[in-house]
Structure 1
Amino acid sequence: MRKRILCGILTLSIAATAPFSAFAATVRQFGDVNAMMMEYRPIMKLSAQGTIKGREDGNFGPTDPVKQLEALVMVQRFFGMENTAIATANLLTAETEKKFGGNVPAWGKGYLVTAVNQNLLDAGEYFPWHQGATRAWVARLLVRLLNKEQEAQSRMSATLSFADANLIPASLRGHIAIASDLGLIRGRENGCFDPNGIVTRGEMAIFLDRTERKMDQLPPGINEATFISGRDAILSVLGEGNLLSSLSLDTNARIFGAEKAVTLSDLNPQDKIRYIKDGDKVVYLEVVQGSGQSANVLRGEVIASLPEQGLLTLKDDTGKPFTYSLAASVSVMNLSGQKLSTSQVGPGSKAQLRLNNEGKIAEILLESVGQQGLQGTIIDINLTAKLLVLSDGANHYSSYYLGDSATVEYNGKRFASLEDLAKGDMVSVEVDGSYVVNKIILQKPKSTVTVKGTVSLISKDSRLVTIKGDDGQLYAFELPETTALQFSDGTSAAIENLYLQDAVTVQLESGAVKKLVIVRAGNTKGLTGKIASIDTSRRLLIVKDSRDRLQSYEIKDPVILDIEGNSNPTISNLGIDTSIEFELNTDNKITYIKSKNTIEGVVTRVDADRHLITLRDTTGAEKIYTVETNAEYQIFRRSGEDLDDVDVDDRVKARVSGDKITRIQVHTQLTGEIIDKTSERIYIKDMDDYERSYTVNSSLKLTVPNITKPSLSDVTVRQWAVVSYWGDEPYQIAVQTPVAGEVTGVDTGRDKLVIRQYDGSSRTVETASRFKVDKGGTTSYGLSVISVGDRIQAFADDQNRIMRAFVASKVSGKIDGINRTTKDIYIGTTVGYIIDSNTIITLNGVRKNFDDIQQKQSATIYYTSGYKAIEVTLSN
């Protein structure tokens, strides 16, 4: 009884309060919170992050008790679940609400639903939301937030050293053991845990701050970096991928080091920091791991480098030179974290130097390399892959990445853009230490070139044309949409007017085709349009061109007719609205008509009883067609189709004879995994586990991301692809790049996921109607099995909706085997985890390759079915 009296505290009765306001704009200074309070820093932090906010009177109320529902809201806002909670508020049924104590405030309903979905609450447990949150209950909440419920269950019989251990509920002993071991909630000064004590707002801030330090990933809004230097409210830091970036401090920013408020000048190089921004300003910053180094950092331009003598001369911002000796173990690193040698720090380089206690250079951070020799002729520039290849003319080549903000200049003036550069241009480049181009200076553009010859090969779909020049050489050109095409009489032309054996003149500027002239009159060949009216008796044809202009022509007798699907065509086979291509003689009479009796459009209405269908073409115009009673229908994976199987919004190709449709092919897509390939064929298993094979040829186009003219050698097994069909005929196989990364948000109400991709960007994706997800060997439908923190690999349809997702399993341990031939790694199993080109490998936040993985190295592997690794995190 004595222990119970000493350890007990008075339980306060709390009136219902309004909800917290998440995502506060800035850090506030509360009237009842000061820097001497132990909860001062956590309150400032959670205020900046938006988890908690003060009262309307300007106070925070650090000693005010917290209700269970308020604590639940704090935890979910802290981890970025607020949008999901708001979206799921209508899913709280009356029966479930009754179990939760009834009369739950409207602002808290969604948080209860989300708490159950995220396993923070048990589905059937009694939850007195209006009662004070006890220390024991909050311990369980925080342990579950860290995904340590199973570990807590295994320690339910743990011996607790607290003086009031007999007061701790048996069902919470494991949670309190975990929370105590992790330092989330510590015992009182009197040796008691005080399990029934009500948590205050100030204590809740402290507990959440401690929990964050134990998380595998940072809560939304909190970022981590390595501090390099700071001056005039500007910080230089190494952020994600060890890339240098700058941060601007808000004038009222709170800075903390070792649990106390400090200034920018108190930060040391290599300090690990976490920070919160409001817009583009840092409003909160804390040191989470000090480096122990003194802030003896210089920055400037290298004007002399003598590595043999161990000397380096730096010019600071004022132009004053400084010469320093290199320490025996000097470390050189570029902005991507790559280790370099001192010989690579040449004149013109921008660098940061850290001096040791002897005044010698201990570390060099190379921001950019010197510009000597960084020029040449563009051999290749690929804007999709962001790659630039230069040649110095002596068979020496250098490759660079194009930075996202790279600029182009010509004679000191701003040049248009990267799109204006071309192969053959003479340029110089400015790059940083990781070979990323920041600026390109155009020294001399490639001269304008004229090529004359005849067309020997043409692909109108891909706009590629091969010219046999008058010099006997073959030239291949791509004709961008911006290329000016015209006939030699000055009239405008289109690529559809270009034919084999046409004589042409091609003008190139900066390596790109600016103009192509077809050496013939523009009013005789290659005219196109739609038939607006036809008079077979008087042999008159009225044609509507692409601008809806009408022109009347007389049809020569005889006329050459080429009508698709008709071996013995006559003029009567031509129908209204039929698309045609025709030629004229010198008397302006039609001598040749080619008719494509296939039209393409989107179905807007179907009347199967009257055999009518309405199609909308690419211009937006709609037309009603009669469908023949014996018309042919093709819908992939269907048999015995008829007009009832054609739906509104279907894309279709229809064959027209006169004014009637005789065949309809519906556009469909199949998604699947590439399971095998040969030199000509590709094998795909679809989402129903049905295997199909395809022969890639001129009628079945293959597309691969970032590759202009792909072949099957560019395709690898285990990639996913979308096969597009017109009816039963496949016409395209598009290899997909998966959406991969960490799940940071799940909105089951709106069928949306938020994924932090491995390139650092965040992407919100919507699921398709037949969305399937594989997790732990089980296939499910819907988002309910996906949780925040899951690693995921997903594949989208042509509307960027996720159709199939694979949630990775996780394994950790020391690598006890590596097969460098098959690229497998082993952790305590005879089955290897497969590493491929899509696997993300990191060590201390820096991207690595398969060859960097070492035996006995600690690793965490996220993998999908077949032991395919999508992420490998290494540690020393």
Structure 2
Amino acid sequence: MLKVIRNRVAINHLIYILVGIVALTMVIGSEAATAKEMSIDQRMDVELSDLQLAAWAEPEIRQLILRGTIGGYPDGTFRPNNPIRKVEAIVMAVRALGLEQEMGQFTDLSDPYFYILEGQGLDWAKDYLRTARRNGLILNYVEELDWYEPANRAWMARLMVRMIGKVDEARDNQQRLFFQDRHQILPNQQGYVQVVQRERLMSGYPDNTFRPNATMTRAELSVLFMNYFNSYMTDYTLHKYNYGTIEEYLPASRELIVRTREQGLKKYTVHPKTLVFFLPTQGGERVVHKRNVSNLLPGQSIDYLLAGNEIVYIELRNENMRSQPNINRDFNFDIRGDIYYVGFYREQVQANNQGQGSQLGTVRFETVTGESQQYALAQGYTVTDINGNPSSLKKDALYRMYFSQMEDGEQVIHRLVEQDGRRTTYTGEVAMVNPVNSQVMVRHTQQQSETFLIADGIRLTFQSGEYVRVYAYGDYIYNWERLRPISDEGYFSKYDSERHELYLTDRWGKEQIYTLAENIQLSIPRVSRPTVDDIHEDDYVRVRFDRYDQNRNNKYDEVVQIQVVNQLMGSIITANSSRITFVDEHGIERIARVADNVAVTIPGNRQRAEIRDLRKHDRVQLRLHQGKVDQVTVFQRNVQEGVVFDLRVIDTGETILILGDHPYNQQVYLVTPDTRVQWQRFDNISLREIYTGQQVRVWYDGDEATHIELVDSGTVKGQVIDYAYQSLWLQGTQTPRVRFMTTDKFSDSDLRGYMGQIVELQFQDSRVTNIRILPEDAREYTLISVSLDELSIRVRADDGKQFVYWLPEETMLIDGYRQSVEKLEGLYRLRSKVEVEVVNGMVVSIKNGS
């Protein structure tokens, strides 16, 4: 079970989360690693020149800087739109959970599974990945094709759910998503998205999309981790206070008097460089406004961060004040992002010679996609050349046009900045796609990459990892084409030795044929010197092409590396001793042959598991050797064990099974003709063998029961509402009354005594063998005295009150076993803690307390 650590030791680790990555990866290698060592004053002085590229995240970035959690680069930038790699995110998660101490135990231990990642440059992260695997952050090392691949939003949602220990909730979640792009969220991702949305860790975009495949950037990760800290951390390097109201601010002494909910009036000192933000929502989108401390006025509601007795960060909840402020507009500006387009200037269409109104004239531009557009120029518009100097409009030059909206709603150009308009082409692997800021990073070689902007009107459908050629004017893409990707994966079909060609079925079910290079590199688990002949039919393989022309023969489509993956994950359809039919992670239905000595592991299984114990929809990990499955591990199954409360045909003609040991905690499943019923090793027995009170295990898909296994004993709880010869009726929630058959040990007078009581019925062979009245009072007390002469017990509650209860004359439950009351004498030490259950003033059960 994933452990969420919320103590001070864990918090001390948080300060390393982002800064610590600096020393470990080349991606963030130049980021300053001294943020943790800075004083508060030094952190307040940190200036970052490019935060306007992700202004929406500046409040969270600034808070992380104040906490010493993250810093900028030596050149004074933050690079908020740089992508975060998956391995970096895993390292951050391990440190966030305070698991670094656990890493030390791996130093001298071998890991028989880590060989899969050898040669991929992950040695620096080896102990982090091992710790992540041990604590459920990752299931196995082959969970990802490339740990250096940028992390997208759906992947990050799953990681956050694993961090907070709510994986079961995500897997069991049946609620529907309402994002417009929900069809892009895979079925096995939807539960994780639901959980992070409900826990307010991640949310959608203003256009009601989630964008699961969008790459996570440094800015987005800053917001995500601040959400995580605020929701799941109970202690901070800086103290955070919510919901304070300003009573008075004294600028001369920088003293702020705040009325808080918990502590009444408090007086603080405001740091002279305290950051003040106002974050209203407009049109469903948060807008970031910066304010100055001189604008603080009585009546404003604030949240704030406190270092000692000094406020270093403030968020205004509102700007309602007791008196109208005289705001100095020099300190009051909005960060909303200019609206801009890119195009070639062609001509001036109309001039406003009088210079009246908001317009100075109309100009015609041609977009990079060839469309002609006319725009109005604002009074006092500015033009800057490619070197940043003031200039005039140049015909056929490429400009970025910034627009302002006038009071009448008209948009006019107020600034034009010349861009590099040279036509270029660039070929390589897509390293990052960020639709938030319209950026695409294309990697030509391991050392050479370029970042492009997506021009308005261009729709890109490629994703990270694809091999493409882009056409651009300077930095602006105006066209593109998809080439063969840098790698592929799928199921091996055959090898043509004469043509030196490999046949495989890819992740989309299509057959692909690839030519192998002469010096092919092979990696096959448990094979020391592998050849192509060691690859078996239906083996899952990953191939890598010679995109960087390592062989210097200009054959970029040749396969230079093959890796056989001997571990697959999927969902069971059917399973028998010869083959397993399953749906893999890519939605492809596959058939895998089963080895003679296959090992099956099912968590919680009391007996040695076999293939026949696998159930439909079981989530499994399959290990293959020489083309056959030799090990099956079930890591998730939709199964519930409980007591049958009722099995009946409803008005629609359908059969329903009501499962639950208590009428207020029940599940209803639909029983279909395809539902299998099993008892011990007898398959496909009749539904007539299922009785009320029978203990069963139900495997389900949604609300449909796919498999029912009978167990010989069980219990059920409820209120007795009627009785007859060898029968009791309990009140249910799904049906008014349910009948239970008793053994002949209960007479009519015995059953009459249970009328109106809340009872627990114990079954054997589907008949009630014991009836226990549930206690009306179950509390922990301090034992004062026990008197067998008077058949009484005296106890004291935590609030000091004492109680005297009667004891039964003969037997009662003592430490879970029915024993003679005389056993109580000397059994418990006086003034010890005991847990006592009482019904109608009489003790029915007693056992040791905490």
Q: TM-score, normalised by structure 1?
A: 0.28
